[in-house]
Amino acid sequence: MTLSLAPTQRGRTLRLIGLLAVMALSACGGAPAMKNGIDPTTGVNSTPPSPEVVARYQAVPDDAYLIPAVEPGYLTGQNPRTLVQYFGPDAPGSIVVDPYARVLYYINSDGTAWRYGIAVGREGYGFSGDASVGRKRAWPSWTPTKNMIRREPDVYGPLAGGMSGGLENPLGARALYLYRGGRDTYYRIHGTNNASTIGRATSAGCIRLFNQDILDLFEKVPTGTHVHVRSAAESSIAEDPMVENAHGLMVPLSSFPEDVQEQIRAGNIPWPKFIPPVGVVTPQSALTGTAVAVDPATGLPVSDASGVVDPDGVVTQLN
């Protein structure tokens, strides 16, 4: 049975009260400043992930595939799966997606939640409110939407007939398909063929996680699980103020010295806006979970090996 039609006025009021309570708790406790390792001129965190986090994202054999390990450089900030305190109004066993903070929560019954870093494509901002998991698929096939083909026919036109599941497929190892009122919303929570995109805004797609994380979430949620996708207004209440850093990752405003915070609040970001280099996933790069750079004039992968070097974890792709 499909859950959760459009929320009632009472439901919206209760959610707003719950989110305002979260804001009050944060104000009383004081958001912890995370200034260590944050470069105030770029917003980039240079602190390496712990060995425990890196171990969680090693290569995983699954069916006929070997899911590649995630490069430690991508396991920064909010990206790794983390157990956190959760004060929101959402029921245990449900999923909360925040496209604006680029995180997803799975709500536990003890006042905690598992927080996952996500990448958000253009379609990921086109839906908000309540839905349910209508279908689940392992190694799903994928077909670009009509809008994607219309926007970028040279890229997506050849794939109009669909792509079978596998390491090169942009849906990754697992997919959750969201339904509302018994109908497919075409909003997906899924894995990825490119770990470098996690935590960033991408040009297309819905909500993607590291493959290791979608495997974890997939096992937690049955069909029918309630999903709430936050609006921008809900995100601004529920999450600490965030800013996109020079590498395209969201970091808390409180991570910066007071003078830099004031500068950012005034609209003067100290670093250039992140513009992801366009890339594609090839059979070779799919084995490492990264993308290779492409020549914008031809759309073909560059042959120079330097084009695939990604020391700062900033290479991304279209799909």
**Distance from C-alpha of 78 to C-alpha of 103, rounded to nearest angstrom:** 7
Which structural domain range is residue 264 located in?
9-308
CATH number at residue 188: 2.40.440.10
**What average pLDDT does the chain have?**
80
**Stretch 219-233: mean pLDDT:** 97
Overall domain count for the chain: 1
Task: State yes or no: pLDDT of 310 exceeds 50.
Answer: no
Report the alpha-carbon angle 207-62-78, nearest 5: 35
Report yes or no on 316 lying in a domain: no
| Least confident residue range of 42-51, 129-138, 263-272 | 42-51
Task: State yes or no: pLDDT of 59 exceeds 50.
Answer: yes
Q: Check residue 18 and give its pLDDT.
A: 55
Report yes or no on 319 lying in a domain: no
How large is the greatest C-alpha to C-alpha distance in the chain, in angstroms? 59
Report yes or no on 56 lying in a domain: yes
**Stretch 275-286: mean pLDDT:** 52
Report yes or no on 2 lying in a domain: no
Its pTM stands at 0.78
**Distance from C-alpha of 163 to C-alpha of 159, rounded to nearest angstrom:** 7
| Least confident residue range of 106-120, 165-179, 202-216, 295-309 | 295-309
Report yes or no on 245 lying in a domain: yes
Q: Check residue 36 and give its pLDDT.
A: 52
Report yes or no on 94 lying in a domain: yes
Task: State yes or no: pLDDT of 300 exceeds 50.
Answer: no
**Distance from C-alpha of 178 to C-alpha of 133, rounded to nearest angstrom:** 5
Percent of the chain at pLDDT exceeding 70: 74
**Distance from C-alpha of 226 to C-alpha of 36, rounded to nearest angstrom:** 37
Q: pLDDT, tens digit, for every residue of 159-216?
A: 888 889 999 898 999 999 999 999 999 899 999 988 989 999 876 678 999 999 999 9
For residue 16 the two structure tokens come to 């707003």
